[in-house]
Amino acid sequence: MPAITLHAAEEEHSPHSLIPFLHSQPQTLLTRLYQRPSACLSIFRLLAPLQQQIIMNLLWLEAAISSTTMSAWVVRDARKKVTSSTSYDTALSALFKLHILSTANLTKLVLNSTFKTSLRQALTGGGATGSFGVPAEPDDKHPPMSVEALDGYALERWETILHYMVSSGTGQGSIQPSKDVLFLLKQSGLMASGTNQITSEGFQFLLQSPHAQLWQLLLEYLRMAEARSMDLVEVLSFLFMLSTMELGREYSTAEGANAGTTSQAQMQTQKAMLADLRDYGLVWTRKSNVKRFHPTRLATTLTSTSPPLPSSAGPGAGPKEGFIVLETNYRVYAYTDNPLQTAVLNLFVSLKYRFPNLVVGSITRESVKKALASGISAEQIISYLIAHAHPQMRKNNPLLPVTVQDQIRLWELERNRLKSSEGYLYTDFSSEADYQLVLNYAKQMDLVIWESSAKRCFFASTEGHPRIKAFIERRTAEAGSADGYP
Amino acid sequence: MDVEETKASHLSVVLDLSPAHWELSARDQPHNTHPLSLASFLSQLLAFLNAHIACRDENTLAVFGAFPKKSVMLYSSTEPPTNWVSSDTTGNAYPPFNAVDSTVVQRISAELERLESPEGEEVPPSALVGALTKALCYVNRISLPPNPNSKAQANGFHPGVLPDPRILILSVSPDLSTSYIPIMNSIFSAQKLKATIDVCQVYGHNSVFLQQAAHLTGGSYILLERRDALLQYLMMSFLPPPSIRKTLSVPTQDQVDFRAACFCHKKIVDIGFVCSVCLSIYCTPLPVCTTCRTKFPMKTLTRLKAAQPLLLGVAGGVMTNGGNKGTTTNGGR
């Protein structure tokens, strides 16, 4: 059985967090978005591999292809018949929802013509949309920023945000990010709006990968953009353009590039976005000169899974990824001097010693309970430890000591000893026979939550109440005498 | 866990760039119903390469070219050309695509120009095996977990994320019987590396050896009939990584020509004689195996010799002048 569940998990990996947002958008908006080759390419990247392959199969066909011809390519292995055909069907329906596949005629498969033209253009180059960003003319006075400097800038910005969130709970003061960032954090429910305190969603947010964090904030930004009456197509296509840009190059804004062809509204949107994204560390601009900007690594890795942030330790200091060593005696050694990482660890580890490049602590019942109380789940703690495990730990199999993993889960279960469920209590049965009769009926329906034959009463779920009531009433009517009432 | 579920994949493309055969392929002849020139082949190939990179940012790509007597690495995404500067200032193309396209085209035209000068009367065959071997070495290198001290990690190359290696051979030249042994050796190393070899014979007849290469490594083999639809073939059959092929099938061969070439005369034989110790193949029974020096008993030899005229009828006169003396030098591979 485990093998089968594993296989299923592999097949149906959850789609990117942006995809559901795009699903909810109207077709006209998506079609406008698909006019940009860069947007098509970025969306294509976010899709599941099977969906990508279906698009590629259809991309170079001029005529529509009947869906039966296409499904003839699906492997119909006797053993995997169900899984392969269903995953193919879900892939198709996902593409229909994104309006990448035309919905006009369900027996024929054909790509949305706008999408087809744009993706073809993206793959073969050409066209004159300039959607991949117009590089700025070299400027002699200001040489372009180096990649290291950009990384440093992005890291500083991003960690300011995260560090502010962590320290808000502990009451220590830290540098405040800009007002817009604060507003965004409150809007997304990561910070409580009244008290400026981190919420339990905020704690969960902290333990996610930087990539997931980034998209969560950007999604909130997109929702806000609607409210701010910014053109969503412009916002999205600017983000997608950023994601296809080259790190370490300077680009000119719509205003600087070709002021003649871009509309006033477009320029306004871009200007506002540049200011916002500057706060998040996605782009870097020289203050005096906003006609040109540098995308940072945060922006250029939006549609990939490569790490969006460089190592937080200085260059050459220690391994690039992973700094936590966890021992079977619950001791945690974290090779870091980054205040943010220390603060995040402090959420579920009781820290003991701090050295210039090493923090030592241990996972205790109290520290984990504290984390659980603030809304962090055991799975999140474990996945954080796995994601940041020291390369030395990677030699172990399993990666984390099983005892510690199990104990963290058990501590979580301790909190869940009481389970509440709504229902009705049936008491005062006049005879044992009546009690058994009703109880058996309820048991057959799988409605009983608790029973006590000594007290001659039982507790059944809310959904079942009408049926049980009807059953009792029917019985009383048949017997002609009052038997038992709930 | 997202990384595990959708792994990056690696694709090495081996291009057979024999000018003579491309010239034949471009000619509009009665037996050649769909002429395909090198230029239009390349433009379709580049779209395919771009599609591979488009699928995931982490997908890696390497392109090898097999020229007459020479094989060259044309492009590799792990070591991007350092001197390449984007000349595009209009923002109409995705920079990585631009880099691949211009590098591959530039390198190919430079190599072909260099070929032109020593134009001999007979064009040597293209070094397909050399290019294939280079591709295998490259796959081997990137499959190894990178050294923590090396710079590989700086390029966003995770240890433990093994790209799904695939090799695509686009061949135009016919089989060279002398390359049987090196191709078989390449197949074995590909199997060991768990690399899939896909083969597309763009021009000419079925290639016996490449057919076996695709079959033995679980790849797909296509003899291109409609050359005007090359891009569609490439996209449907060679783009999906192995994980997708479980759901969307790719064309496989229903008949594979398993014939081998003998070690002594490098001829493709229908019936051969196999050394029971080292499995070397000969077209005629030998008293001593030239590879491992095993002596065979006289009794077996006479029996095989006796059976030979019978077999000759089937084999079509393969063993005409198979003298034992002449074989010792060639068989030592």
Same domain, A20 and A37: yes
Per-residue pLDDT, B157: 41
Same domain, B149 and B35: yes
Same domain, A216 and A272: yes
Same domain, B41 and B162: yes
pLDDT at A359 over 80: yes
Same domain, B274 and B213: no
Q: Is position B85 within any domain?
A: yes
Q: Across the interface, which of A74, A251, A301 has its CB nearest the CB of B247?
A: A74
Q: Is position A16 within any domain?
A: yes
Q: Across the interface, which of B56, B91, B160 has its CB nearest the CB of A135?
A: B91
Which among B256, B302, B294, B259 has a CA at the least distance from the CA of B278?
A: B294
Same domain, A160 and A192: yes
Contact A57 B2 (CB under 8 A): no
Tell whether B95 lies on the interface with A, counting CB pairs under 8 A.
yes
Our CA-based measurement puts residue B247 at a distance from the nearest CA of chain A, in whole angstroms, of: 5
Q: Give me the domain span that covers residue B300.
A: 260-332
- Chain A residues whose CB is inside 8 A of the B101 CB are 125
Q: Is position A305 within any domain?
A: no
Q: Is position B157 within any domain?
A: yes
Q: Which residue of B has its CA nearest to A253?
A: B91
The structure tokens listed for B38 are: 């090198």
Query: Cα torsion at A96, A97, A102, A107 (round to 10°)?
Result: 40
Which helix H or strand E contains B26, and what residues bound it?
Answer: helix B19-26
Domain count within chain A: 4
Per-residue pLDDT, B154: 37
Q: Is position A316 within any domain?
A: no
Same domain, A79 and A121: yes
Same domain, B63 and B90: yes
Q: How many CB atoms lie within 10 A of CB A91?
A: 21
Same domain, A180 and A286: yes
At position A287, the amino acid (one-letter code) is K
Which helix H or strand E contains A290, and what residues bound it?
Answer: strand A289-295
Our CA-based measurement puts residue B187 at a distance from the nearest CA of chain A, in whole angstroms, of: 26
Contact A41 B50 (CB under 8 A): no
Tell whether A288 lies on the interface with B, counting CB pairs under 8 A.
no
Tens digits of residue pLDDT in A180-191: 788 888 888 887
Average pLDDT over residues A89-95: 84
Tens digits of residue pLDDT in A268-288: 777 888 888 888 888 887 765
- Chain A residues whose CB is inside 8 A of the B2 CB are 13, 305
pLDDT at A264 over 90: no
Q: Is position B255 within any domain?
A: no
Q: Is position B254 within any domain?
A: no
CA B296 to CA B329: how far, in whole Å? 19
Q: Is position B272 within any domain?
A: yes
Per DSSP, what are the bridge partners of residue A451?
Answer: A458
Our CA-based measurement puts residue A363 at a distance from the nearest CA of chain B, in whole angstroms, of: 23
Same domain, A111 and A140: no
**Cis peptide leading into residue B19 (ω within 30°):** no
Per-residue pLDDT, B152: 38
Which among B212, B207, B208 has a CA at the least distance from the CA of B197?
A: B212
CA B156 to CA A297: how far, in whole Å? 11
Mutate to test the interface with B, among A19, A46, A52 (most CBs of B within 10 A): A52
Q: Is position A430 within any domain?
A: yes
Per-residue pLDDT, B331: 34
Q: Is position A205 within any domain?
A: yes
Q: Which range among A206-215, A420-429, B5-14, B126-135 has the greatest average pLDDT?
A: B126-135
Tell whether B251 lies on the interface with A, counting CB pairs under 8 A.
no
- Chain B residues whose CB is inside 8 A of the A247 CB are none
CA Rg value for chain A: 29
Residue-wise DSSP of B222-269: EE-S-GGGHHHHIIIIISS-HHHHTTB-----S-----EE-TTT--EE
- Chain B residues whose CB is inside 8 A of the A305 CB are 2-3, 6, 56-58
The structure tokens listed for B255 are: 């008949």
Same domain, A239 and A375: no
CA A20 to CA A15: how far, in whole Å? 8
Q: Give me the domain span that covers residue A336.
A: 324-415
Tell whether B110 lies on the interface with A, counting CB pairs under 8 A.
no
Same domain, A41 and A114: yes
Q: Is position B251 within any domain?
A: no
Tens digits of residue pLDDT in A432-474: 888 888 888 888 888 888 888 888 888 888 888 888 888 888 8
Q: How many Å from the N-terminal Cα to the C-terminal Cα in chain B?
A: 47
Domain count within chain B: 2
Average pLDDT over residues A240-264: 69
Q: Is position A484 within any domain?
A: no
Contact A244 B86 (CB under 8 A): no
Same domain, B240 and B272: no
Q: Is position A315 within any domain?
A: no
Find how far residue A276's CA is from the centre of its chain. 21
Our CA-based measurement puts residue B318 at a distance from the nearest CA of chain A, in whole angstroms, of: 42
Q: What percent of chain A has pLDDT over 70?
A: 81
Same domain, B232 and B267: no
Distances (CA, A) of B305 to A20, A198, A281, B263, B290: 74, 89, 81, 18, 18
Contact B248 A88 (CB under 8 A): yes
Tell whether B105 lies on the interface with A, counting CB pairs under 8 A.
no
pLDDT at A27 over 70: yes
The CA-based angle A257-A44-A11, given to 5 degrees, is: 155
Q: Which of B211, B245, B279 is the last residue of a domain?
A: B245
Same domain, A118 and A140: no
- Name the A residues in 220-279 with CB < 8 Å from any B CB: 244-246, 249, 251, 257
Per-residue pLDDT, B328: 32
Q: Is position A378 within any domain?
A: yes
CA A314 to CA A321: how far, in whole Å? 12
Same domain, B211 and B316: no
Same domain, B125 and B16: yes
Per-residue pLDDT, B327: 33
Same domain, B109 and B137: yes
Q: Is position B250 within any domain?
A: no
pLDDT, mean of each 10-residue run, chain B (333 residues): 56 89 81 82 91 85 89 82 57 80 88 71 78 91 61 40 80 84 91 90 86 89 85 89 80 79 83 86 86 86 78 41 34 34
pLDDT at A484 over 50: no
Same domain, A78 and A216: no
Q: Is position B42 within any domain?
A: yes
The region of weakest confidence among A352-366, A376-390, B164-178, B299-313 is B299-313
Same domain, A157 and A270: yes
Tell whether A70 lies on the interface with B, counting CB pairs under 8 A.
no
Which of the two residues, B159 and A396, has the higher pLDDT score?
A396
Same domain, A282 and A153: yes
The region of weakest confidence among A6-20, A32-46, A232-246, A410-424 is A6-20
Same domain, B164 and B121: yes
Q: Which of B245, B279, B296 is the last residue of a domain?
A: B245
A471: domain CATH number is 3.30.70.2610
- Name the B residues in 204-233 with CB < 8 Å from any A CB: 231-232
The region of weakest confidence among A8-12, A145-149, A205-209, A450-454 is A8-12
Tens digits of residue pLDDT in A125-169: 776 666 777 777 766 666 777 788 888 888 888 888 888 887 776
ipTM: 0.77
- How many beta-carbon contacts under 8 Å exist across A and B? 135
Contact B3 A305 (CB under 8 A): yes
CA B8 to CA A304: how far, in whole Å? 10
Q: Which of A374, A396, A415 is the last residue of a domain?
A: A415
Q: Across the interface, which of B93, B239, B243 has its CB nearest the CB of A125?
A: B93
Contact B248 A54 (CB under 8 A): yes
Tell whether A41 lies on the interface with B, counting CB pairs under 8 A.
yes
Query: Cα torsion at A120, A121, A122, A123 (round to 10°)?
Result: 50
Mutate to test the interface with A, among B49, B56, B57, B151 (most CBs of A within 10 A): B57
Which of the two residues, B16 and A251, has the higher pLDDT score?
B16
B147: domain CATH number is 3.40.50.410
Q: Which of B183, B217, B245 is the last residue of a domain?
A: B245
Q: pLDDT averaged over chain A?
A: 78
Distances (CA, A) of B279 to A417, B275, B315, B333: 68, 5, 20, 12
pLDDT-based confidence at residue A81 (cuts at 50, 70, 90): low
Mutate to test the interface with B, among A305, A394, A395 (most CBs of B within 10 A): A305
Q: Across the interface, which of B51, B95, B148 has its CB nearest the CB of A246?
A: B95
The structure tokens listed for B249 are: 């099938």
Contact B241 A125 (CB under 8 A): no
Per-residue pLDDT, A85: 62
Contact B244 A53 (CB under 8 A): yes
pLDDT at A314 over 90: no
